[in-house]
Each structure stands twice: as C-alpha cells, then as structure tokens.
Amino acid sequence: MTLLMVGNHSSFDDGTLFDAVTEFRAANDFWVRGILPEREPRSAKDSAKFIRHGMMVTGTYQGKVVPTALLSSMGTGVRHTIHADQIVITLESWEPILDDPAQSEAAFKQKGWIPKEPVWQWNFHYGDLYLTETKTGAAGLVLPWDR
C-alpha cells in the first residue's frame, strides 16, 4: 500500500490532485498499454470536475494513459466508490449515537457489554468496517464489503 497526500481541500477541484495522482501512477508503472492519449486532452481541472460528478476519465502523463478515480485495472472502481460512500453515510449516522452516552446505551442496551465510559474505535479488515469498544475489545461488523 502506498499512502499519498497532496494538496488541500481545493486540490480536489482545481486539478492539482488529479495531476499529482496521474503523475504518481505513471511513474509507478500503473498505466494502460496500447492506448494512445487523447488528441485534445481536457484540462486537469475539467477532469477533476468530471470525476466529482461520477464520470470515469483517464489522465495522461508523458504519453502514458493512466486509470484515475473510478477506474481500476480490475473493473471494480464503481463498486469501490459505492462502498466508500456507504462508509461515509454509516460514519455520519453512527457518530452522533456514539458521542451521546444515552443514545449509545440505548442502541446497545440488549448487548449488556458496554462499559460505563466506552471508548469507540472504527476499524477495517479487508474492507469490512468494524466498530470496536477498546476497553473490552468487543467488536461488531457494521458494514461488510461486497466482495
């Protein structure tokens, strides 16, 4: 796994993140062989806009056509994007419950395993999203990854 962080929040829209990821992937030999670049390539800013609206686009760096955002070499990019969206929706719905002791106690009352002052932690295992209470080590699968 390679962790990559470049730019700031405006980088998603101004094209700098698109350019950085495209260059990184090309430099790491992650490009599509046998495909020629577009004759009139769109700007990185326009490509970023298409990606933000769910369109699949490619990037080009030094004549190499690179899969970007929703594209993957296995054809699973859309499923991964949907799973990422589901994770965000899940976190947004659970966080208020976990932040309020009364709500979390009510949500888990039938379990009987929550300590007086629980410490919650989100974890992943091969794409599955788990919620763990760190004092007890108890964990539950919240969102499975569709393999």
Say if pTM beats, i.e. exceeds, 0.75.
no
Query: Does the pLDDT at position 117 exceed 80?
Result: yes
* CA gap 129, 145 in Å, rounded: 8
Give me the pLDDT at residue 62, please.
93
> What digits encode the pLDDT tens for the residues 88-107?
899 999 999 888 888 887 77
The percent of residues above 70 in pLDDT, for the chain, comes to 82
Q: pLDDT band for position 4 (50/70/90)?
A: low
Are residues 57 and 47 in contact, defined by beta-carbon separation less than 8 angstroms?
yes
